[in-house]
A and B are shown apart, each in its own frame.
Chain A
Amino acid sequence: DVKVTQSSRYLVKRTGEKVFLECVQDMDHENMFWYRQDPGLGLRLIYFSYDVKMKEKGDIPEGYSVSREKKERFSLILESASTNQTSMYLCASSIILSGRNTQYFGPGTRLTVL
């Protein structure tokens, strides 16, 4: 079974702090994604990566950056956390196989910025 883990289930940070959210997958997937989920807005893609050291902006990249130094690890960075970044953050990974691009999700990190 694919396993995607996220470094924290719950995180509380203060405005202006630098925040690192880590995601690790164990199935050698090329693709990794970061989403945020807010009530009434569904899942919105922040950044994604197709390969090591490669990144592409999603729909809402402002205020975030990412790092992918190793294939299994994709980090989301909030350079200076703000209260409007309080949200549920979901990481996912996928591999395209026979045209299927099913995503496997981690359990999520609920981030509160005070």
Chain B
Amino acid sequence: SQQGEEDPQALSIQEGENATMNCSYKTSINNLQWYRQNSGRGLVHLILIRSNEREKHSGRLRVTLDTSKKSSSLLITASRAADTASYFCATGGTGANSKLTFGKGITLSVRP
């Protein structure tokens, strides 16, 4: 069953602009993670935010988490053409297992 749902499904922006992607989920989580996938490749972990955290930064990435609204956002600042990829949110449950449930992904295109 799909836990995370990303929004929008596709996003096209100009190089230098900021890209904001959203993720909503349904059940309680231990953490929420964002991954990136370049075309035809495997996923690469970008950032993890725990359920007791509200905001986290990593380079040009900023992630927020609102557990009351069951939602997260990923902001990429000063986007580059190389940021063109699919982005997935994944939620880790509170149970004693290590499964993640992935959303369907957002396709980001950054025009040079």
Residues of A within 8 A of B (CB): 4, 31, 33, 35, 40-43, 45, 48, 50, 58-59, 88, 90, 92, 94, 96, 99-108, 110
Contacts and interface: CB of A to CB of B under 8 A. Distances in A.
Interface string B40-73: 1111110010100000000000000000000000
B98 A50 contact: yes
Contacts of A4: 42
Contact of A108 (B31, B41, B48, B104): B41
B98 A105 contact: no
Contacts of A40: 104
A72 B99 CA distance: 18
Interface of B: 1-2, 30-31, 33, 35, 40-45, 48, 50, 88, 90, 92, 97-105
A103 B40 contact: no
Contacts of A50: 97-98
B45 A104 contact: yes
A41 B104 contact: yes
Given A102-B33, A102-B48, 6 more contacts: A4-B42, A40-B104, A99-B31, A101-B31, A105-B42, A110-B40
Contact of B41 (A58, A94, A102, A107): A107
B2 A42 contact: yes
Contact of B42 (A41, A58, A90, A94): A90
Contacts of A41: 104
A99 B51 CA distance: 11
Nearest to B102: A43
Nearest to A103: B100
A66 B105 CA distance: 26
7 contacts: A42-B88, A45-B99, A101-B98, A101-B100, A103-B45, A105-B42, A105-B44
Contact of B104 (A42, A58, A102, A107): A42
A43 B86 CA distance: 12
Ordered nearest first, which 3 A-B pairs have the shortest CB separation? A105-B42, A42-B104, A101-B98
